[in-house]
Structure 1
């Protein structure tokens, strides 16, 4: 997988696999976003650049928040993708690659902290004025866009504790659990992870049976995070990550929920199934040695049953 060790890229280093189990490493970068930054996000057009990969669900959540909060004109996107030779490569002709010699995401980490040790993950919010990473926390980036953008808050004050608790449950029980299943090198770890995935799916199915979103009629940050996982479920998690007990389309409420968000203005344009399939089949997991990319399942994302 590769990571930075004391600011230097090591292509062989990997702390994510421990005795055949996948454990996501937390970043050590400071991710504080204060009122001054929120004001700058609104008024300093082009200062901040959102670095994301179209295949990454955490990146996807940040892009969705950017679009829904109408900040796309303020914060340009630098896309990362392709074969991960030194982690995420930055695609050419972007706002960073078009004006510098930086070609890899890990270089932005080294510029920010010359002694940084850890994975070079996306998303990240790059401050071109200070030439440093402002944040590499998807949760903090989404929240910053929610505060700085137009329209209603995506994490209303009255629901903060409930939204955060459910978001944590979704991360542990589904969004990260599919990775534990897909990267498992032991049968018991795989089985436990898959059981966790579908127990969480069953719970969320019941919760969404009689409401549009997780907290009723209004979309929140928890919905954005869940959508970013579910929209990938049948395409890569069922297949490449071997969570094969059920498909998303086998869950009426979850399928309806995912289609509802997919069909919202501006969302389908930022769902790139080709990049998702390439990113997972070629770059995520060691059990596809010939880099065969699975075909896209036949799914009618324009289906409006139950949405009106």
Structure 2
């Protein structure tokens, strides 16, 4: 996957695979979203750039917040994607491309010339400081929620329950599909898929009796889950070999995902071509010939059962 070591890019460096098992590396970049930055996001969001990839589910949850909380016309996006030569490339359209940046890792080394770690997205870039303030999707989500418009995505009445639920969702599904897809040992693959299927059944039961994960109002937890489920049949049930089920096998999960997809502005954040290319073309060890599988035929705009 490659990473920066002392501010220099190394294509062959990767600390995420350990004895045939994928272990997501924690960010080495401190998050700097203090009260002053959050207030600046409220007053002058145009001074920041949200750097995201349309293939990445963690980016996707943040883009959904950017869309739903009223930032789409106030804070510019910089899209990163394409073949991962030196990690994520900065796509030609966007403010950072126009400023001369070509790879996301260039934003990290501009922030800290001695940075060692992965150059990940999403990232919040401060145009005035010329620095990445945070690459924590959680911190960026919370900040956008605090200063954006509309109902809170982190409602106080569900704060304690969400604090317990979100790590369970990450461990049981959102990161477990990666553990399955990147596994180099059969036992690691089987343990990861057991986790995935168990969580899918738990979520199916939960959403069979309510609209969203915490009742009738959408929260950040729903954005996280949607960002994983909308990719499930396209790449997780295929390329990541979570093959026992499809999303469409789960009545409540399929209804939930389709309902969010049909919300105003959400479909525009879903690029299935970029999702497929992002996974298939950038996983050489499991797809050495770089073939991109077909997109499943799914009617996302079907209103039956909603």
Normalising to structure 1: TM-score of the pair? Answer: 0.98
Q: Provide closer, same or farther for how the CA distance between residues 69 and 33 of structure 1 changes in structure 2, counting only shifts above 3 A.
A: same
Instruction: Tell me the distance in 2 between the aligned counterparts of 1:260 and 1:36.
Output: 36
Instruction: Tell me the distance in 2 between the aligned counterparts of 1:253 and 1:225.
Output: 16
Equivalent pair of 1:123/1:136 in contact (CA under 8 Å): yes
Structure 1 partner of 2:247: 248
3-state DSSP of counterpart to 2:78: strand
Instruction: Tell me the distance in 2 between the aligned counterparts of 1:88 and 1:225.
Output: 22
Structure 1 partner of 2:24: 24
Equivalent pair of 1:282/1:288 in contact (CA under 8 Å): yes
TM-superposition CA deviations, 1:246-269 (whole Å, max 9, x none)? 000000000000001000000001
Aligned residues: 306
Equivalent pair of 2:284/2:290 in contact (CA under 8 Å): no
Structure 1 partner of 2:47: 47
Q: Provide closer, same or farther for how the CA distance between residues 285 and 181 of structure 1 changes in structure 2, counting only shifts above 3 A.
A: farther
Gaps of at least 5 residues in structure 1 are: none
Structure 2 partner of 1:289: 288
Structure 2 partner of 1:104: 103
Q: Are 1:36 and 2:36 matched, yes or no?
A: yes
3-state DSSP of counterpart to 1:125: strand
**Aligned residue runs from structure 1 range 156-235, under 5 A:** 156-235=155-234
3-state DSSP of counterpart to 2:133: strand
TM-superposition CA deviations, 1:52-96 (whole Å, max 9, x none)? 001000000000000000111221000001100000000013111
Normalising to structure 2: TM-score of the pair? Answer: 0.98
Q: Provide closer, same or farther for how the CA distance between residues 250 and 45 of structure 1 changes in structure 2, counting only shifts above 3 A.
A: same
Instruction: Tell me the distance in 1 between the aligned counterparts of 2:234 and 2:199.
Output: 19
Q: CA deviation at 1:285?
A: 5.5
3-state DSSP of counterpart to 1:96: helix
Instruction: Tell me the distance in 2 between the aligned counterparts of 1:97 and 1:237.
Output: 31
Instruction: Tell me the distance in 2 between the aligned counterparts of 1:205 and 1:112.
Output: 43
Equivalent pair of 2:42/2:147 in contact (CA under 8 Å): yes
RMSD: 0.9
Structure 1 partner of 2:89: 89
3-state DSSP of counterpart to 1:78: strand
Q: CA deviation at 1:295?
A: 0.4
3-state DSSP of counterpart to 2:281: helix
Instruction: Tell me the distance in 2 between the aligned counterparts of 1:17 and 1:127.
Output: 32
Equivalent pair of 1:180/1:193 in contact (CA under 8 Å): yes
Gaps of at least 5 residues in structure 2 are: none
Q: CA deviation at 1:134?
A: 1.0
TM-superposition CA deviations, 1:84-120 (whole Å, max 9, x none)? 000000001311111x221000010111111111110
Q: Provide closer, same or farther for how the CA distance between residues 285 and 23 of structure 1 changes in structure 2, counting only shifts above 3 A.
A: farther
